[in-house]
Chain A
Amino acid sequence: MGCGSVQQSVPRIVQAGDIADALARLCISACCNLPAENLERIEALASAEESPIGRQVLATILENHRLAAREQRPACQDTGLAVVFIELGQDVHIAGGDLATAINEGVRRGYRDGWLRKSVVADPLFDRVNTGDNTPAIVHTTIVPGDGLKITLAPKGGGAENMSALAMMIPAAGVEGVRKFVVDQVRRAGPNACPPLVVGVGIGGDFETAPLLAKKALLRKIGSPNPDPRYAAFEAELLEAVNKLGLGPQGLGGTTTALAVHIEHAPCHIASLPVAVNLNCHISAHESITL
């Protein structure tokens, strides 16, 4: 193909209504059904937990999550802000409405029909009036090659989100600085973020992308290591360090403070070393669908 030639491609049509339907289903499913690997990990750790109270807490958590799935009830009353990740193929055309409206319509329906809690206030500072339908959703859209449309919903509870943090470190801080920051954040979070936790760490990028990397790290399958062996080893090291803090299940003391530490990393400025820690509780709800 020479310079100046034009390749015509026909966009794939995706209906806005199908996006809304998909979101509504994801809201209900993600809040009621834990990822299977979370349950497996909690089960495996429960037998190794040193604290009797900790073992009892883990057994209760497992019972809760099985009940939630069986009766299709929200595992936790905090069914979160609806955080939505969209991977939109550049060959997709959305018809019959716009993307943002479709997403919010789906969230509105899912939270209503699934008897989920509406936890959004319209104004953060002054009147803090509940919007009543859990909208607006937080939406992160990435344009990708192809004609697919992948929707991931990660409902995010307030307790764990409140204990998350960003540090703009200097490069000299290095691995040691990152280790100290991550472990300190988990210690500071204590019982508030409902341990056992999933710890999302974002390293690199800039002031706004490091937290997004940390949040995306929470979407990875629990315990799936970073593909870079250096980061995978660092994840394992951080997990061990966090579990030595003694917080244990619900912070009541014990050896199971985190189920996993996941790191996502990105290139950054020569002057910078941004590090973000985004915490999730043991539920760590998220689910995807591809249209």
Chain B
Amino acid sequence: MVRQITTPLDDATIASLKAGDQVLLSGIVYTARDAAHKRLAALISEGKELPFDLNGQVIAYIGPTPAKPGDPIGSAGPTTSMRMDPYAVTLMERGLKGMIGKGARSQQVRDGMVQHRAVYFAAIGGAGALAAKKVTSAELVAYEDLGPEAIRKLHVDGLPLFVVNDIYGSDLYEDGVARYRKD
């Protein structure tokens, strides 16, 4: 069964999500990847204000292609999440409730999700043209100089995702591979 969920993610929704669930996510998500995370972490360590309020929000590890004229965004699939692992716990401590990317997270990030009640979703890597069709608008929030790595506020409508890590410590990658492993 595919569930519809909406951002910002409230506690009840988060508690109901289990690794392996398929969801269609709607609402606002913020794009940020390596360079933007580095800047956000620097602001936090200097005690400065962030360019957007993290509370209850979802960050998508997406660096889109440029939007063709008339489109809100170009192709917009996920990048490898582990590169953001060094920053993820710090952001969860400040209210981040969801992350969208691809690939496994470090144990530290997984523990952080249990502790701070946040979830990690996988989008389908290499299906960026299709994902772009679920983005209804995109607006620059910060760091335009980073080009594809700028922070953008996206409105998404029914973005298809898999819950990989829930707040109970389960991991879809581990479970899925264990089920089909034959060596």
Contacts and interface: CB of A to CB of B under 8 A. Distances in A.
Interface in B110-165: 122, 124-130, 132-133, 146-149, 160, 162
Nearest to B74: A115
Interface stretch (B40-48, B58-66, B86-94): B58-66
B176 A253 contact: yes
B161 to A, nearest CB: 11
Contact of B65 (A57, A116, A128, A162): A116
Contacts, number: 170
Given A53-B20, A255-B182, 17 more contacts: A61-B126, A63-B130, A65-B129, A74-B128, A74-B129, A77-B65, A115-B66, A115-B74, A158-B79, A190-B177, A244-B183, A245-B183, A246-B179, A251-B103, A251-B104, A251-B177, A253-B178
Interface of B: 20, 22, 35, 62-68, 74-77, 79-80, 82, 102-104, 122, 124-130, 132-133, 146-149, 160, 162, 172-173, 175-183
A225 B172 CA distance: 34
A186 B111 CA distance: 26
Interface in A224-258: 241, 244-248, 250-255
Contacts of A158: 79-80
26 contacts: A57-B124, A63-B130, A64-B130, A67-B130, A71-B129, A73-B132, A74-B129, A77-B64, A77-B128, A115-B66, A116-B66, A128-B35, A132-B147, A159-B125, A192-B80, A192-B82, A192-B104, A245-B177, A246-B179, A246-B183, A248-B177, A250-B102, A250-B124, A251-B173, A253-B173, A253-B177
Contacts of B177: 190, 245-248, 251, 253
A165 B12 CA distance: 43
Contacts of B125: 76, 159, 191, 194, 250, 281
Given A75-B128, A118-B148, A192 B183 contact: no
Top 3 closest pairs, chain A to chain B, by CB: A253-B176, A246-B181, A194-B125
B182 A246 contact: yes
A67 B75 CA distance: 11
Contacts of B82: 192
Interface in A130-150: 130, 132
Interface residues of A, number: 51
A71 B148 CA distance: 21
Contacts of A115: 65-68, 74
Given A60-B160, A115-B66, A250-B122, A73 B129 contact: yes
Contacts of B180: 50-51, 54, 246, 248, 253-255
